[in-house]
Amino acid sequence: MTSLADDSLHILALVGSLRRGSYNRMLYDAAVSLAPAGMVFAEADLRSLPLYDDDLRLEQDYPGPARELRAAIAAADGLLIVSPEYNHAVPGVLQNAIDWASRAPDQPFKGKPVAIMGASTGRLGTVRMQHGLRATLESLEAHALLKPEVMITFARESFDDRGLVDEKAREVVAAQMAAFAAWVRRFGAQ
């Protein structure tokens, strides 16, 4: 959590797409660039996590990447989750990370402020993924920011090789980042 000597908000990002040029990676980059001053971002490495296997955890303890993820979530002031929607649901890579990090004891999502955003090429954006993810986060006692929501539809029209270029989308992302900073500060004293 934020110390008295450092009033920066340390945000850990979980990006649910591994593809380097994905719309959601560009959305994450836009969120970082549009965030208020004082928000410091780091991205969790989801690529190196093995598939969740509770036998592995019980027999050998958490693998190194899972330990690192749990520690990074615990140390962050807040979490930003940026993800596409795969088959009307949370992508496997993101769900795998949540599964590794959420095991008791001391699961690090409890009390953690979280913002969610996503981009999709379809007309519903990431509404179904976000709905399912919110249910998961609620079960983990995280504090998901409700509004403003960022669900970018028809992503091919909102992004180009420079990133997120749609001005209305950029305004919503900036508004969410400002609201998220206040949300993190609200729960940061716990």
Q: Is residue 24 pLDDT above 50, yes or no?
A: yes
The pLDDT score that the predictor gives to residue 126 is 96
User: Which fold is adopted by the domain 9-187?
Assistant: Rossmann fold (3.40.50)
pTM above 0.85, yes or no: yes
HEC string for the chain: CCCCCCCCEEEEEEECCCCCCCHHHHHHHHHHHHCCCCEEEEECCCCCCCCCCHHHHHHHCCCHHHHHHHHHHHHCCEEEEECCCECCECCHHHHHHHHHHCCCCCCCCCCCEEEEEEECCCCCCCHHHHHHHHHHHHHCCCEECCCCCEEECCHHHHEECCEECCHHHHHHHHHHHHHHHHHHHHHCCC
Burial of 139 (0-12, 13-18, 19+ CB in 10 A): exposed
The pLDDT score that the predictor gives to residue 3 is 43
The pLDDT score that the predictor gives to residue 6 is 66
The pLDDT score that the predictor gives to residue 104 is 82
Average pLDDT on 172-179 reads: 98
Q: Is residue 4 pLDDT above 70, yes or no?
A: no
Q: Is residue 189 pLDDT above 80, yes or no?
A: no
Average pLDDT on 99-119 reads: 95
Average pLDDT on 121-148 reads: 96
Average pLDDT on 79-108 reads: 95
Q: What is the pLDDT of residues 28-74, one digit of tens each?
A: 999 999 999 999 999 999 999 999 999 988 998 899 999 999 999 99
Q: What is the pLDDT of residues 136-167, one digit of tens each?
A: 999 999 999 999 999 999 999 999 999 999 99
Average pLDDT on 104-129 reads: 94
Instruction: Give the start-to-end residue ranges of the domains of the chain.
Output: 9-187
Is there a contact between 106 and 14 (Cβ–Cβ < 8 Å)?
no
Q: How far apart are CA 164 and CA 27, in angstroms?
A: 6
